[in-house]
Amino acid sequence: PPISAKETLEIYAFMEAADESKRRGGEPVSIKEVMAKAEAEADADDH
């Protein structure tokens, strides 16, 4: 069966956190931080 939308978002957040960590030279990046940034950007796009 397909996975839930929540699980899909978590997978993308994990991948984005890994990419951001690489951009920062290996600095740890939390998935929570990535999700907060994405939510802020989505809110900005709504206005």
Mean pLDDT of 21-40: 95
Mean pLDDT of 1-23: 94
Mean pLDDT of 13-42: 95
Give the count of alpha carbons within 13 A of 2, CB side only.
Answer: 4
d(Cα 10, Cα 38) in Å, to the nearest integer?
A: 12
Helix ranges (H only) for the chain are 5-23, 31-46
pLDDT at 12 over 90: yes
Query: What's the domain count of the chain?
Result: 1
Token pair belonging to 35: 């999700």
Q: What percent of the chain has pLDDT over 70?
A: 100
pLDDT per residue over 14-24, tens digit each?
999 999 999 99
Domain hosting residue 21, numbered range: 5-46
Mean pLDDT of 19-40: 95
